[in-house]
A = this chain, B = another copy of it.
């Protein structure tokens, strides 16, 4: 479990870092905002613990940049001020949680765990990337680079079902169930038509959907 700690105060940074390391986390740390940003962008961190007040760039700006570059690492903001303005702004900018100084190490630890357990405030985990295609289950969108492939609801649902069932054959029956529920069926031909349309739209955007058809069985995503 990799954590990036961006914190100005060296004493706090050291104590948090040591504490987390004792708990088995891998911790990278920096005191500088812009360095923190580039580390967050390039490194593959599970969580970034980010102080708001930092030298060079402040935490909120780091967070904003991080989010606008579509990095979906989870971010836990730290703030010395109890000013709620900060909190609101932070959470709106895309923070997943927020902690006001002073806080106990136990509290930090608890938040970190709850953040890592996916059952928390944000659900940016609901993203699947594959061959340059990014499926966002939150926004119900598929995009290739920064180009959005505009799918209709059923087209999207088919793609979603396949993206989330990589390495397994998905039968038309299963797709039908995914589209219409258990009691209302969608014809196989209808699914074929949707998928055809989705493939066409993707091609127009410059990609092939990585969906193989397994003749006689169904469809499969090739990793």
Q: Which residues of A contact B (CB under 8 A)?
A: 1, 23-25, 46, 82-85, 87-88, 92, 94, 100-104, 106-107, 109-110, 113, 116-117, 119-125, 127-128, 138-140, 152-153, 166-169, 214-217, 220
- Given A124-B84, A139-B167, A217 contacting B104 (CB threshold 8 A): no
Q: Is the interface of A mostly helix, strand, loop or mixed?
A: loop
B101 touches A24 (CB 8 A): yes
On whether A120 and B169 interact (CB within 8 A), knowing A24-B101, A109-B104, A216-B152, the answer reads: no
Residue in chain B with minimal CB distance to A168: B138
A172 → chain B, closest Cβ, in Å?
14
> Would A100 and B120 be within 8 Å (CB), given that A138-B169, A152-B216, A215-B153 are in contact?
yes
Given A88-B128, A102-B24, CB of A217 within 8 Å of CB of B120: no
A82-B120 Cα distance, complex, nearest whole Å: 6
A-B contact pairs, 7 of them (CB 8 A): A1-B101, A82-B119, A83-B120, A87-B121, A88-B124, A100-B116, A139-B168
Copy total for this chain:
2
Contacts of A85 in B (CB 8 A): 124
Q: Which residues of B contact A106 (CB under 8 A)?
A: 106
Instruction: Collect the chain B residues with CB atoms within 8 Å of residue A24's CB.
Output: 101-102
B167 A116 Cβ-Cβ under 8 A? no
Report the nearest B residue to A123, measured CB to CB. B84
Task: Given A1-B102, A100-B116, A102-B23, decide whether A121 and B152 contact each other with a Cβ distance below 8 A.
Answer: no
B102, A25: Cβ atoms closer than 8 Å: yes
Could you tell me if B100 and A117 are in contact, using CB atoms closer than 8 angstroms? Answer: yes
A94 and B167 form a contact (CB under 8 A): yes
